[in-house]
Structure 1
């Protein structure tokens, strides 16, 4: 199961958050899940490097230097996604009555939880099987414009690589899909490396603070194209980019990095 919800939050006082607050966002998400399923955070901690949970930054703050300023009584948005049954079930049970949320030093009350797709385009609910079936039954495009909303980077050994190379973007998605989906795509990354190119882009790099360390990630709009009109390859790209709506791309998606969207809706 795949689930994306949005929590509408209101700080109980005027407050501040660092521009990069992914460490706090992830800790808050684990605390929230623990109230619904007490053993789940430990299982997530012990799971593979590709966690079945992503968090977004808190959206809507006023930027002031290296901080976001938050106003008491104003509503902000915080998005969480689940990539497996356990996390998705917990998210589906999340409601305003679950209690306050602490992100960093800021305490928020939950004003509303958006959990149905018709409530907001950033909310979603589907299954791996449904995504697979959808892309097997349409005529796919050969070009895919992709928007990277938050800094995105890839871990390679002991360093990060903040470049939107096709094999890194789609290799990340293949690894995540194969980890969490009941239906593996197999060893397809090398095929995508040969068949997919970056044909257009407009982006930049941004620095991100990650607790005791920092990194750099790219943001912007990038178009990926299949060099030949091969429907099966195009379907895999479309499938993976639809999956990215839930999974994100790259390293530290649990901390708000790699928030990614297919930049247009593919016609049936």
Structure 2
């Protein structure tokens, strides 16, 4: 079942944890020996580490229909071992997401750099059509067939979605000790034109809720494209 997983870590000294190391830690936590490590759409997404109330938090998203693996009491982030103080699972289902209240506007907070990969080139801007397509592709990779977003539905959304407003900047983030990635960081407001029907608005709302779990764009398994939904309105 889809879920957000909020982990509280005993991580002292604020070591440099690169996205590549977040990816490795998430794979160790959420993949099994039978997992296909090379699959295009992995069943998890990774958020950045952040501090709150003196503790280090790490938010993961679980996209698969089956429950996530049980988490250990201790994890390794690169060359740093740390205890898991607490883990909170906020479970949902594709049926519940698909039954979201219809919406025409969504305010997204991009909390880690977001970018898209297009034909070997990076696109570090919040293109509304790319956002919707990326979410729909990952939804269809993991949702039961009953809740799949058909090509017709996807065309209806991409044909009506637009970028209402954005505020932020592109930032260059280290992926490892030697590599960097540029992505968009800030807020994005998406809208649907007035002609969007009830079904289109419902699927749009479902995808925006799904973005909280799945993230948006490329390398979401490395901590890129983490999203918070600030507003979802009719």
Do they fold alike, i.e. is TM over 0.5?
yes
Q: Say whether residues 1:199 and 2:164 are aligned partners.
A: yes
Shift of 1:7: 1.1
Per-residue deviation, 1:208: 2.0
User: Contact (CA 8 Å) 2:65, 2:142: kept in 1 or not?
Assistant: no
Q: 1:213 to 1:109 in 2, by over 3 A?
A: same
Q: In the alignment, what sits opposite 2:37? A: 45
Shift of 1:229: 4.4
CA distance in 2, matches of 1:228, 1:264: 18
TM-score normalised according to structure 1 size = 0.78
Give TM-score, length-normalised by structure 2.
0.89
Cα displacement (A) at 1:189: 3.8
**Unaligned residue ranges in structure 1 (runs of 5+):** 62-73, 116-123
Taking the aligned partners of 1:106 and 1:89, their CA distance within structure 2 comes to 24
CA offsets 1:76-98 (integer angstroms, 9 cap, x no match): 00112211134x331xx32xxx2
Within 1, Cα distance between the matches of 2:214 and 2:94?
12
Is 1:160 matched with 2:126? no
Answer whether contact 1:17 1:104 (CA < 8 A) is retained: no
Tell me what 1:174 maps to.
Answer: 136
Bigger relative contact order, structure 1 or 2 (CA pairs below 8 A, ≥6 apart): 2
- Please name the residue that 2:13 is paired with: 14
How far apart in 2 are the matches of 1:237 and 1:161?
22
Structure with greater proportional helix content:
1
Q: 2:68 aligns with which of 79, 89, 106?
A: 89
The two structures, once aligned, show a CA RMSD in angstroms of 2.0
| Distance in 2 separating the partners of 1:266 and 1:163 | 23
Q: Quick check: 1:109 aligned with 2:92?
A: no
Unmatched tracts of structure 2, length 5 or more: none
CA shift at 1:110, angstroms?
1.0
The DSSP-based 3-state class of the residue aligned with 2:228 is strand
